[in-house]
A and B are shown apart, each in its own frame.
Chain A
């Protein structure tokens, strides 16, 4: 049960990180492009701001699951550390269930939002070419941007499920049979 889910999550998180890396690079690039256009060509572009936000939202949605999987979500864990192993696993399970509730609610509402009226709004400045000659353009709707958080929530739910199974195994004393999660170094904003 945990094996396939763990492998799925590992694969999804890797893919999410790869796209996230591209997204953050694009954010830097278009922001710099705007500075250059404004100063060198005296011709500010309408779209870099929104394009960069588009990328930032997707970066967040796709990279946050990696953080959750590796304990990168900020929490005060002194009580969890102080409790005996089983009790700690029990408390973890409760906390993870609360997190699951939040995530499922988020996914439900988020999906409704994407399909609702707010999603039908046009983005202010983002277009996609629909022909090779670049003479017809499709205006990207806001829902494409809003989908980032929904996809993020869906991936977080999968990761959270994996964490719940781990906590449950810990509770029944089978923690040593769990496969390890490789731990990438996480930074901090402070």
Chain B
């Protein structure tokens, strides 16, 4: 073949493969609906399997397969050894295939109830969902759940693939009954298109090729539909411009650009942008790429913007259309999917990451839970793994966002546990609860530093944490006496004056413990504002709550004192007789016994009360205050 011919043939084949861009879709179905078989069939029929892969597949089919002598396509997909042996898919796997019209990225997500989080993960980047229904079983609870999650995650195009048609004699009426049942489930949700196709994944019927046994069906095959479906119907280019700044590009003093990806809309060179947080505006003087400057940047493009004037912009800022800016707020309502074993408790502090913005945040209230099987609202106090709830959240810093229903990329966030660093939740913002422009912190003439100066001290929280009976209150009491004797202004908070008053409505469940500490932290902060040195003696067993209080005040104002004694010694001391009661089963959720205590990792002061007297311990605390310059 002459060179020119090769070049032409290659270019023709490749260009065709590229025209439709990428379609990302997920497949979901119940156990044994034949999901893996369907994807295996798509890969096989799109001629993307190589000879060596087919050989491995044939060998594996004989060893692990469930289809006798035939190829078990499901084995192509179950990637990890352990899964292969158990015969289940436990995580999200991504697969790729091309036809001459489109590139496809498939997220294969498992159907087990406990794996809602995996399905949500796969759905978060998908434009279309294939909902598999077993023709023998019809619409099941799982079908409703998958439909609900796909819709919640913002997927607007659904394909109902009624599989195993061969096992119901390719019955037309069975198919129509299932489609009619399904429409009752999905018609009130937000789908723009729902297409139903009868298939047999095992035999390839209506996947790539039409089937003689399903002659009564005259709609598109699955592949025809996937190649043609236009998922960009709500033209993302027509949405208001959004550009989260990822990285400040500063190679030398003559160039300062802002690198990021346009998440929505378009922007021409010379166009006006606003910094969402500060409200400052500028014009875009250059749109820089390594392939030369562009005249216009559109959604999906990764570019570097240069502005016509110097304004303060950093990672986490969002450059937006001045005529149609996003919300900027520190309180909003969102749907949250809980993704970890440890329960979600309102009040606990997490890290919230939304695009390039990161801030401490907490769930202030759980308004209600959502039942993914019945689509109904249910009351609840906390969220378990794979549960979904509508919550209000409060962030430490203002964040810029859109509503998830309008803009996925700027309307979504994750919550991260501050200690395990696990991603614990996915969130979709519904609406803002108040606008930043309505908030005015009234600047008082007499402020914290003036109040403290009058008292000749620096305010602080002395936070005593440790097991019951470790000696917290005893030491705190001595410290306060010594401070008062020195003419210092103090106040002390402990179980006795808080539990009987402010927090009288709270019990000892994990959720109540979190709320208990949140309120105490808030009160302590007010006393710090008043210029006082506040001693707080609370078991406060959870790191995240202590961290939450620490972050409410300025650096250096929170001094964590770990009052450390072995539990055997505490039980021996048992000043209030509580351990005895707990061991007799009269008190439940007792820290150290049937409720955990998480010791501080880096306390400002670590006191081992087994080795010293209460007075020595108190002196150590005073020394620490002097060393930190808090006593003037």
Q: Do chains A and B interact in one complex?
A: no
Identify the B interface with A (CB < 8 A): none
